[in-house]
Amino acid sequence: MHKINSLSQTISITAIASVSPLGNDSETIWKNYQNPEPSFHIQLLDRKNTCVGALDEESKAEVSALRHSDTKYNSLDNSVLFAMLASRQAIAKAGWSKQDVFGINIGSSRGATDLFENHFKEYIATGSAPTLTSPTTTLGNISSWVAHDLQSSGPEISHSITCSTALHAVLNGVAWLRSGMADKFLVGGSEAPLTDFTIAQMRALKIYSRSQDEYPNRALDLEKKQNTLILGEGAGVCCLEIGKKENALAYIEGIGYATEILEHNISISAEADCFQKSMRMALANTDLSEVGAIVMHAPGTIKGDLTEYKAIEKVFGSKLPLLTSNKWKIGHTFGASGILSMELAILMLQHNQFVGVPFAKKQEQTQSIRKVLVNAVGFGGNAVSILLSL
């Protein structure tokens, strides 16, 4: 195993901001995490009533106001607008100005989902595509528009690595900072997947929740008999800076990544070998007893939850950290999910309070939470683990 985690240069997280079903300011988000009710809504999607994690009304209003604030923004997909709104908040919190040179890496699993589907429907119906179809549905569209909106002058990168997209953006930002090619990087992910065709794809995989339970997404229920994935929408970004900053919310203490050897398109091994490797890499220089909690990927599927749990058992043995996930609360936001998990991890560090899953086996916090591990993985078995500390 290559040990790349000895931090000769500390990476500070000086701000994190998001737009999600939990709201778009840290106090509201933390308050909503204290509420044991899921943040789901029933919408008419895929020609049937479907449980989804949609933005709260205040966030929807802010996205709408942003769309109408500039004629150029009228034609943009929600995935772009979500990222723009979160990015504005993040750099304001970090105290970055327009004169600062910083890189941007915001990815998405599926990109301009709604816009692409609507343009394709128009093409099927009429045989022609609207003029702005290509420039507004290209994946690089997200970081480019964020850079335009913030008037930044650093590098702009967009990418798609399925559900671990946002944490791969963090990896990339860390690499740029440690290389000396940048001092500041804005990283994260954005997703707006609440569309008929996207939901239909999840139904075709037989992983979308059919549950009428109080908690329709049963993430971390390791005894569930059916898959319970629910999709959510949102975006999250964080500001990374080289060095130990006084205004840091947390520090990146370890990073890990690994890719599964695939047997088929969506396979993952019985004990999630990719997660075992990514976690061990992130924890290479850490006493395992110091890890207070893990924010798991745990999408709410039978195999996804159980294989990650088994991987954690392989790495930590019988003394497991506190385990949680936020997908029971907001759904699976695909490429944005990793950064929203980091947000939960940072909030738990700041408040020294564990946020558990209300229907899972009760876990007692017996010590201060000083380090939290965050996991993400996507189709293709591309796992990422990030160790955060105070």
Tell me the domains of the chain and their CATH numbers: 11-389 (3.40.47.10)
State pTM to two decimals: 0.95
Q: Which residue has the tokens 């506190």?
A: 322
User: Closest by alpha carbon to 156, among 165, 143, 146?
Assistant: 143
Parts of the chain with a pLDDT under 70: 1-8, 262-271
Share of the chain above pLDDT 70, in %: 95
- The pair phi, psi for residue 107, each rounded to 5°, is -110, 175
CA 309 – CA 287 distance, rounded (Å): 20
Contact 278, 385 (CB under 8 A): yes
CA 100 – CA 111 distance, rounded (Å): 27
Q: What pLDDT does residue 22 have?
A: 96
Q: What pLDDT does residue 263 have?
A: 60
CA 383 – CA 273 distance, rounded (Å): 9
Q: What pLDDT does residue 46 have?
A: 87
Q: What pLDDT does residue 40 have?
A: 95
Contact 66, 84 (CB under 8 A): yes
Beta-sheet strands, E only, within 119-262: 156-157, 184-191, 234-242, 250-259
Q: What pLDDT does residue 228 have?
A: 97
Q: What pLDDT does residue 138 have?
A: 87
User: Would you state the structure tokens that stand for residue 229, as one six-digit string?
Assistant: 């994935």
